[in-house]
Structure 1
Amino acid sequence: MLADQSIASPPGPIHMVDLFAGPGGLDVAAHWLGLVVDGIEWDDNACATRTKAGLRTRHADVRDHKPADFREATVLAGGPPCQTYTVAGSGAGRRALEQVRGFVKQMAAGEDVKESLKNLDDVRTGLVLEPLRWALEAVKDGRPYDAIVLEQVPAVLPVWEAVGEALAGVGYKSDCGILHTEMFGVPQTRRRAILIARRDRKPSLPTPTHQLYRKGLPANPADLALLPWETMGKAITRESPYVVISNYGTGGDPKARGRRRSDEPAATVTGKVSRNRLVTHDERELPRFTLAEAGRLQTFPIDYPWAGNDISQQIGNAIPPRLAAHVLAAALGLKLDEKSLDEAVNGAWEVTKASKPLAGNS
């Protein structure tokens, strides 16, 4: 992206601390927007990718840190681990939703729930409460965050709603809901529960730029003014059209593998993306997605320097940077330049060059 293709930068350097930063989905988007980011991540493999990508990283457990360790940060962001809440996971988090919502209320009342969290069936379930701990501690320290951005799988929406109520008690206004990634230019159908909060005004979730994907159906008339959804074929350059056969069954039947053509968005990219078969329309086998191609379906730059082990899992766990850019811009009151965003997504990754902002004041 050339400097003269971006619009005015946000006022002053904005610092963000990214909890559970993973391989960098939120961080990549933040760099595109001109933010300075410190990510906290404990997983060795994700940290290997972050190091190779040039992202500022604290290799540590979020639970061992607090807002005072990152005093320059005025924005708090985080996507806690989703394994116990996702449909493909153990389900421990989904079963404990009401219990977790109860913990939110206790925390809002000033109670310490640390010991109670140890009684959960899976300790990872309680990690979803860490961003609230950070937010409440920052308020108590007299240095509240200007903005907060949280993301998780759709099952966590009730928790985000409870967190929004807790934040209201300490001066925040918030908005939360489910966003469809293809409605923000991501060549993949994926849903995320998003919360954004601010102290100075009532924020709103970002407005979709692209149409909702409806398999085998025309666009919803209400979406006709929006751009068409992006396709796998546009994101990944291959010589001929192809069909992707999912590793997962559909409709509860493990033998009924879902199919998507290359002129459609991908199905949700998971840690098992490398197991998806690719075939021609007459069923001839094709090479499966490379790791770089899988990253493209998540809107990471084609040359993003994945490193460490379990790279498929790193890719599947990440929030798509393109969606993250829209969410962060909405939280910070910035207006995205879609053309420059396209160029950043489709261009080379260099952390120093990526810090040239794609957005200005809305």
Structure 2
Amino acid sequence: MTIPGTQAHHLDGVRILDLFAGPGGLDVAAHFLGYRSIGIEWDRNACETRYAAGLPTIHADVSVMRETRFDEIPKSVDVLAGGPPCQSFSVAGTGAGRVALDTVKEFIHRLVEGEDEAEIDKDLHALGEDPRTALVLEPLRWLLKAIETEGRDPYKAIVLEQVPAVLPLWEVYAKLLRSGEGRLKGVKYEAECWELKTEQFGVPQTRTRAVLVARRPGHGAIEPLEATHMPFDLHRGKRTAAQAEMLPTDSVIPGARKRWRSMAEALDAASKSEGSPVDVSRLRTGGRTNFFVVSNYGSGGDPKNRGRRLSSEPAFTVTGKISRNKVYRSIAEYEAEKSDRFTIPESGVLQTFPHNFPWSGNDQAQQVGNAVPPRLGMHVLSRALRGNTPSEDELVASTTWPTVPRSTSDELRVIGCGDQSRCPPDSHKVTRAPRKSAP
């Protein structure tokens, strides 16, 4: 990582290291809570979004960074965070990780017990499963590296998130972190893990995540996160849009939870922000935002049985294929196969990114789908680092991203990609069409 003197200030006061950082879901959350972060991300496109957003980034492979460039991580970092790639564990993915779940648990114990890591890597490779499955071990390896590196202190807090299938692995992590055994060298943590539903924290989308929060003793027990909104009934049957809207958006009972946030509410609010790229006028009928979404995925094992959501309800889980979901204003449009699509800024809003977040590079739908919803990230990080929930002012502020000068983005690109030879192989390779031979 090349850091010229004039650009070193971008790393001043960095406290959070975000592994597998993507376009910055956790980093955006940290920003609005007042914490500085740096992310490691191998995808060049996600890095371009991060540079445009002013987020310090190292364009590198997480494993390579740990093995050969660990000393480049600022010593001010005292929080380890991240969401290892979930495709192999996801219901929507190959499922290789779910099949290998018990085997991965064994590898976690072998790492902590001090077995030779080269042998562990060899055995992992011999599994023949999706190679991304092994990446769920990286946060533990980063913790062990910090403990065993002279001049480094153990992280004060650890925050990890993944698909629900990974919860059993986080439970193994938590048990070992509490024990301080083996290579942990007596370093113990208070640790808890939960399965969280995003719509219960104000995200206009149904998405379930497995979350682990750990911190060094001395701050009391880690209390469960307090849901701010009601859960969405996935088995709502034939409830109409009118019935859905009868549920109160804001509770009149002090301390009671609000109704889940709908797509229409989120997009309407974003469209009213000054200079917003979100424009829902095309989705309005009769003076109100009114549409329904047909999922790209089948349900009940039938690929032709596409799920539907009303605009008065939360979105389906936002994945990298959100641009394939079809949006209709009426049954007539549906029958005529006259569909619309969510734009990238709209998709980002459904993930609770700011309406003006500067999505950049290619594969932007994939970037959006791979990200941690920042609003959920704010709740998790606030619980881990402050022991409380985000303030209403912080949540309101999180809807708009500050303008980032081009010079800042250029300086961050030099920090992250300045020496392209240290970036992931071929990630900067430019493919050009072959020259035509002269006639």
1:31 and 1:351 in contact (8 A); partners too: no
Q: How far apart are the structure 2 equivalents of 1:172 and 1:27? A: 23
Q: How far apart are the structure 1 equivalents of 2:355 and 2:206? A: 19
Query: 1:337–1:102: structure 2 CA closer, same or farther, 3 Å change rule?
Result: closer
Q: How far apart are the structure 2 equivalents of 1:286 and 1:334? A: 45
How far is the alpha carbon of 1:72 from its aligned partner? 1.4
Of the candidates 119, 127, 135, which is equivalent to residue 127 of structure 1? 135
Which 5+ residue runs of structure 2 have no aligned equivalent? 1-11, 181-186, 248-254, 269-279, 285-289, 406-439
Structure 2 residue identity aligned to 1:163 = Y
Render the CA deviation track for 1:258-315: whole Å, top value 9, x for unaligned.
1101110001001110011111233413421001100000000111111111111110
Q: How far apart are the structure 1 equivalents of 2:113 and 2:302? A: 45
- Corresponding residue of 2:188: 171
Q: Does 1:264 align with 2:287?
A: no
Stretch of structure 1 that moved more, 318-327 or 119-128: 119-128
Note the 1:225-304 alignment, pairs <5 A.
Answer: 225-237=256-268, 238-239=280-281, 240=284, 241-284=290-333, 285-304=338-357
1:278 and 1:286 in contact (8 A); partners too: yes
Q: How far apart are the structure 1 equivalents of 2:155 and 2:81? A: 10
Identity of aligned residues (%): 51
1:27 and 1:37 in contact (8 A); partners too: yes
How far is the alpha carbon of 1:115 from its aligned partner? 2.4
- Corresponding residue of 1:108: 112
Q: How far apart are the structure 1 equivalents of 2:362 and 2:108? A: 35
Which 5+ residue runs of structure 1 have no aligned equivalent? 1-11, 353-362
2:298 and 2:305 in contact (8 A); partners too: yes
Q: Does 1:40 align with 2:50?
A: no
Structure 1 residue identity aligned to 2:19 = L
How far is the alpha carbon of 1:345 from its aligned partner? 3.1
- Corresponding residue of 2:420: none
Stretch of structure 1 that moved more, 50-59 or 230-239: 230-239
Render the CA deviation track for 1:199-257: whole Å, top value 9, x for unaligned.
124323421111111142798xxxx9201110100111324200011011111111111
- Corresponding residue of 2:82: 78
Q: How far apart are the structure 2 equivalents of 1:348 and 1:333? A: 23
Query: How many residue pairs are counted as aligned between the two chains?
Result: 340
Note the 1:52-91 alignment, pairs <5 A.
Answer: 52-66=52-66, 68-70=71-73, 71-91=75-95
TM-score by structure 2 length? 0.73
- Corresponding residue of 1:360: none
Render the CA deviation track for 1:66-107: whole Å, top value 9, x for unaligned.
354322101000100011110111111111100100001111
Q: How far apart are the structure 2 equivalents of 1:348 and 1:65? A: 29
1:243 and 1:280 in contact (8 A); partners too: yes
Structure 2 residue identity aligned to 1:229 = W
- Corresponding residue of 2:360: 307
Render the CA deviation track for 1:157-201: whole Å, top value 9, x for unaligned.
111111112212231110001100000000000000000001124
Query: 1:255–1:236: structure 2 CA closer, same or farther, 3 Å change rule?
Result: same
Note the 1:146-165 alignment, pairs <5 A.
Answer: 146-165=156-175
Q: How far apart are the structure 2 equivalents of 1:82 and 1:337? A: 27
- Corresponding residue of 1:93: 97
How far is the alpha carbon of 1:347 from its aligned partner? 2.2
1:301 and 1:349 in contact (8 A); partners too: no
Q: How far apart are the structure 2 equivalents of 1:232 and 1:283? A: 21
Structure possessing the higher radius of gyration over alpha carbons: 2
Q: Does 1:139 align with 2:144?
A: no
1:296 and 1:302 in contact (8 A); partners too: yes
Q: How far apart are the structure 2 equivalents of 1:348 and 1:308? A: 18
Q: How far apart are the structure 2 equivalents of 1:26 and 1:311? A: 17
Q: How far apart are the structure 2 equivalents of 1:332 and 1:14? A: 14
Structure 1 residue identity aligned to 2:400 = G
Query: 1:211–1:29: structure 2 CA closer, same or farther, 3 Å change rule?
Result: same
Render the CA deviation track for 1:30-64: whole Å, top value 9, x for unaligned.
11111111100011111111111111000001101
Task: State the secondary structure of the residue aligned to 1:211.
Answer: coil
- Corresponding residue of 2:183: none
Render the CA deviation track for 1:10-37: whole Å, top value 9, x for unaligned.
xx95601110000000000011111111
Task: State the secondary structure of the residue aligned to 2:232.
Answer: coil
Q: How far apart are the structure 2 equivalents of 1:209 and 1:13? A: 31
Query: 1:151–1:283: structure 2 CA closer, same or farther, 3 Å change rule?
Result: farther
Q: How far apart are the structure 1 equivalents of 2:260 and 2:146? A: 40
1:177 and 1:193 in contact (8 A); partners too: yes
Of the candidates 308, 317, 332, which is equivalent to residue 370 of structure 2? 317
Task: State the secondary structure of the residue aligned to 1:343.
Answer: helix
TM-score by structure 1 length? 0.89
- Corresponding residue of 2:124: 117
Q: How far apart are the structure 2 equivalents of 1:27 and 1:299? A: 13
How far is the alpha carbon of 1:337 from its aligned partner? 4.2
- Corresponding residue of 1:213: 232
User: Any runs of at least 4 consecutive aligned residues in structure 1 with deviations exceeding 6 A, and if so which?
Assistant: none
